[in-house]
């Protein structure tokens, strides 16, 4: 609940950013937050899962984990801050060392806060965890509203004192966004530290070695998955030639590209919610004699619902983009949204399929397939973006996720066979994308007519898909049962 609601709250910032910020400013913010996402993996080193694994058995590990996080964070941050000028010049944002300082502050508080949040989860204090998490995100939204709106509004309608104080520091709007994040984290931080209770500095090498050996594979998997997701945001402005920027600078192209990515959040939220419910369900039914049928049905209905969400996004794109992407220039590339939503959908299917190596204790396959996906994504970005621009990033992530799904399915059928309705699900996905392409070419007289007709088409598609899916599933199950009975008679 806290994770999903938090994402929804953060999503409210998209209309604000696209109304107040220029595309190039949003592009800089998007790139910096992509770095933050990757650095968070390096700062925490996969230690959160180790906390659950070891502290639940031996509370003495808690002091070692906290001590390691403190030492590692300050050493790593010190190296980054010491190199701030070199880093910022390399990124092309000369004289903006404040970006580095603010990012380090965000990462230090985030990574140290991870431990008290983990402790709340370990102690099953779900309500307290949720209240703190939502408060932190809500404060971030409020600070963004105050700082950005105050900077953007007329002097007669804003806090003139605050405006004068901020102007004295000569901050830009990128720094306002980072500052809002830092302030929201800092306000909640004392309360989180209080949850830890008495902490004693202790760096036992024997305990630390066990923790690092356990955490390193998790760190590497997290790094691979995050890099796979963020690579295009980091490299797009370096790879795309000016001739494909339609007169904009490369930072603006990144801002527009990421803003369009945000329209896929409805697919991401659905997948996130599904993951929270599905993994405990799968593990609970691992020894069920009908597990193949159960897992197959879960996948089938996941694909059906995913197709409906995909269709809803693709068909109602004009309506959604007008609400969330306030400036017209942000809406110039919305045609990529259905393909980005499809890539997240495929990632959801991969997560669904991946249960086989978790149940079969072969998690190294997850690292293998994630690494293959990352390599393909990086390679295709490097090849395609200089030729076809931001579409190269779209095709890269779509191809990488498709290959990960295919590999996970093939390996799974070899090691942990489940009778999925593979061709039926594939037909649903292809048909949905085809219908999106057809309906997107229908022309309407005005926006109101377009919105009403598209909502009607979406409703009709949903009802039709539901009834067809029910009948097809009954037919497929009857064929599977008949095949199984024939095989049994032969035996």
Q: Work out the burial of residue 87: count CB atoms within 10 Å of its CB; fewer than 13 is exposed, 13-18 middle, 19 or more buried.
A: middle
Least Cα distance to 107 among 142, 86, 77 occurs for 77
Is 50 exceeded by the pLDDT of residue 389? yes
Angle (nearest 5°) at CA 60 between 57 and 64: 115
Per-residue pLDDT of 297-349, as tens digits, reads 999 999 999 999 999 999 998 888 888 888 888 888 888 999 999 999 999 99
Q: Residue with structure tokens 């095709």?
A: 395
Per-residue pLDDT of 136-187, as tens digits, reads 888 998 999 888 876 665 555 555 555 566 666 677 889 999 999 999 999 9
Report the pLDDT value the prediction gives residue 107, as an integer from 0 to 100.
93
Per-residue pLDDT of 237-262, as tens digits, reads 899 998 888 788 888 888 988 888 88
- Cα separation of the two ends of the chain: 50
Pick the range with the lowest mean pLDDT from 25-34, 195-204, 222-231, 406-415: 195-204
C-alpha span between 401 and 217 (Å, rounded): 21
Report the pLDDT value the prediction gives residue 160, as an integer from 0 to 100.
54
Q: Could you tell me if 218 and 48 are in contact, meaning their C-beta atoms sit under 8 angstroms apart? A: no
Report the pLDDT value the prediction gives residue 342, as an integer from 0 to 100.
94
C-alpha span between 206 and 230 (Å, rounded): 35
Pick the range with the lowest mean pLDDT from 178-192, 217-231, 384-398: 217-231
- Residue 292 — very low, low, confident or very high, per pLDDT cuts 50/70/90? confident
Report the pLDDT value the prediction gives residue 215, as an integer from 0 to 100.
78
Is 50 exceeded by the pLDDT of residue 290? yes
Long-range contacts of 280-286 (CB under 8 A, 24+ apart): 282/355, 282/358, 282/359, 283/358, 283/359, 286/359
Give me the torsion for CA of 148, 109, 41, 47, rounded to 10°.
-150
Cα dist from 408 to 156, 189, 230, 321, 365, whole Å: 59, 40, 22, 34, 8
Per-residue pLDDT of 61-76, as tens digits, reads 888 888 888 889 989 9
Report the pLDDT value the prediction gives residue 207, as an integer from 0 to 100.
79
pTM for the full predicted model: 0.83
Is 60 exceeded by the pLDDT of residue 11? yes
């Amino acid at each position: 609940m806290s994770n999903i609601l938090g994402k929804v709250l953060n999503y409210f910032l998209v209309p604000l950013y696209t109304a107040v910020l220029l595309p190039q400013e949003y592009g800089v913010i998007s790139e910096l937050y992509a770095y933050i996402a990757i650095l968070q993996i390096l700062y925490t080193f996969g230690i959160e899962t180790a906390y659950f694994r070891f502290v639940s058995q031996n509370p003495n590990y808690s002091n070692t984990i906290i001590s390691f996080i403190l030492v590692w964070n300050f050493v790593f941050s010190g190296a980054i801050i010491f190199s701030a000028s070199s880093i910022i010049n390399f990124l092309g944002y000369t004289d903006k060392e404040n970006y580095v300082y603010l990012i380090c502050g965000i990462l230090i508080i985030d990574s140290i806060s991870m431990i008290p949040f983990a402790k709340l989860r370990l102690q099953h204090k779900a309500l307290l965890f949720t209240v703190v998490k939502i408060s932190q995100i809500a404060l971030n939204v409020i600070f963004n509203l105050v700082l950005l709106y105050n900077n953007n509004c007329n002097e007669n309608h804003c806090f003139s004192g605050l405006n004068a104080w901020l102007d004295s520091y000569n901050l830009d709007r990128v720094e306002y966004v980072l500052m809002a994040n830092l302030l929201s984290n800092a306000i909640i931080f004392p309360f989180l530290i209080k949850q830890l209770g008495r902490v004693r500095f202790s760096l036992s090498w024997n305990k630390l070695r066990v923790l690092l050996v356990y955490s390193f594979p998790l760190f590497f998997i997290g790094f691979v998955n995050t890099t796979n997701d963020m690579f295009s945001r980091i490299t797009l402005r370096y790879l795309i030639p000016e001739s494909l920027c339609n007169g904009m600078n490369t930072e603006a192209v990144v801002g527009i590209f990421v803003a369009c990515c945000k329209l896929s959040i409805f697919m991401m939220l659905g997948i996130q919610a599904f993951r929270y419910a599905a993994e405990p369900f799968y593990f609970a039914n691992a020894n069920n004699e009908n597990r193949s049928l159960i897992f197959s049905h879960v996948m089938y209905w996941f694909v059906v619902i995913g197709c409906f969400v995909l269709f809803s996004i693709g068909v109602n794109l004009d309506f959604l983009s007008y609400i969330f992407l306030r400036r017209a220039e942000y809406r110039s590339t919305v045609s990529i949204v259905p393909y980005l939503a499809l890539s997240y959908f495929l990632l959801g299917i991969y997560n669904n399929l991946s249960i086989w190596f978790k149940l079969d204790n072969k998690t190294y396959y997850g690292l293998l397939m994630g690494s293959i996906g990352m390599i393909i994504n990086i390679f295709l970005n490097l090849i395609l973006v200089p030729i076809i621009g931001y579409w190269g990033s779209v095709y890269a992530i779509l191809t990488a996720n498709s290959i990960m799904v295919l590999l996970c399915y093939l390996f799974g059928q070899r090691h942990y066979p489940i009778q999925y309705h593979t061709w039926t699900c594939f037909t649903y996905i292809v048909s949905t994308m085809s219908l999106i392409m057809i309906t997107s070419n229908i022309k309407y007289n005005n926006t109101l007519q377009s919105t009403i007709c598209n909502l009607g088409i979406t409703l009709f598609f949903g009802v039709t898909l539901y009834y067809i899916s029910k009948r097809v599933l009954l037919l497929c199950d009857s064929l599977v049962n008949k095949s199984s009975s024939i095989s049994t008679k032969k035996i």
